[in-house]
A = this chain, B = another copy of it.
């Protein structure tokens, strides 16, 4: 079955708000095995909304509209859809009561325009909305099912879960299963080259690649008669990917981030971590602290942006800074040594580089970054060349630092050697 999303709201077209409802609904529909081929955003305008509805009805089985159900004159989604389906709007006594009760609970009186929200298309299935004054509605026509939801996410999300999900579940037969495979320390094109044969041969399951900063995510999706069969169908391909990306694959869990994988690895080995950052300026620490409960592992970070701070807080030698410069392998090495010495942590990561836009030279161009790792005294320093603007370089360096730490940990616990990479 094909689902299509129509978001109604001039505020989206003006860029005042980001359309998070579409992302939410898309993800939920994909999880229910519905194919979504189109999302459209249109303003609070009868003519243009009708035009979009016409197009959608011709190509999709289910249309989910969000927004434009409010009490003001601008809001005309319900009126437009009713007209489009040749349905009258009639006063719904049950919903009038809901509006009365809703306002009574807040010690408020409904204004005249609130009663507009109790005028519902005849024959519509009404979905309760405890968090607002507009109900969800489902209209079934010969060729299509049209679902209307209020725009505020605090109303839309609970309404989807309580009313729309059960409705959609009983419509869909067959099932879809998606498995995420996340890789780090490898480029998208290198991944593509390494799995070209699998992509060329794909039917069911399929593979999609997603480039992220410093990471590549793969999504393996299969369809089957039920969820169990679909899941089973993804397994051989996921196994193949695991063997091809033995070192780079850090998780197959949707909600595990690279920083979480690193924190978990350190926790599993009873190790603690500190960081010493220059050009990333706290980004690496901030990513590690994204992980709830990281405090057993992540202890501290020193952002030593000035040379003085590098010397004072990390014990980087004056002679090193003079001879090799702040952006050098030697400085990265001393930063990571000093960080472990000061913090008494088991592991440390250091980052020093040129994020630009100024300060680059021919010998040391903008984008040059040194990353150091200290795992129980074994020090590794690598040189990187990142491109992009200042923030892109810093984000790339942060992701590379996590990937390098992970690789050094794999070596330490004997799961890989550098040569293999």
Q: Which residues of A approach B to under 8 Å, CB–CB?
A: 10-20, 22-30, 36-43, 45, 48, 52, 55, 70-74, 102, 105-108, 110-114, 130-132, 152, 154-155, 158, 178, 187-190, 192-193, 199, 208-211, 213, 219, 275, 277, 279-286, 288-290, 292-295, 298-306, 308-309, 313, 343, 355-358, 365, 367, 384-392, 394-395
Name 24 interchain pairs, CB-CB below 8 A, sorted by A: A12-B23, A13-B37, A13-B39, A15-B26, A37-B43, A38-B40, A38-B48, A72-B192, A74-B208, A105-B367, A111-B193, A113-B193, A130-B387, A130-B388, A152-B211, A281-B282, A281-B285, A281-B298, A282-B289, A286-B394, A289-B303, A289-B394, A299-B308, A300-B305
With A27-B16, A111-B189, A282-B277 already in contact, the answer to whether A306 and B299 are too (CB < 8 A) is yes
Cα separation A158 to B387 with both chains bound (whole Å): 13
How many copies of the polypeptide does the oligomer hold?
Answer: 2
A22–B38 touching, CB < 8 Å: no
Interface of A is mostly: mixed
- Identify A14's interface contact among B30, B55, B112, B211, CB under 8 A: B30
Please name the residue on chain B nearest to A71 by beta carbon: B189
Q: Does B300 contact A208, Cβ atoms closer than 8 Å? A: no
Asked if A298 meets B290 with Cβ closer than 8 Å, knowing A40-B38, A113-B189, the reply is no
Q: Tell me which residues across on chain B come within 8 A of A358, comparing CB atoms.
A: 292-293
Given A18-B19, A285-B285: 20 more A-B contacts, CB < 8 Å:
A13-B39, A14-B27, A14-B30, A16-B219, A18-B20, A19-B22, A55-B55, A71-B192, A73-B199, A107-B385, A130-B387, A131-B388, A154-B388, A154-B389, A154-B392, A277-B285, A281-B286, A282-B285, A292-B358, A303-B303
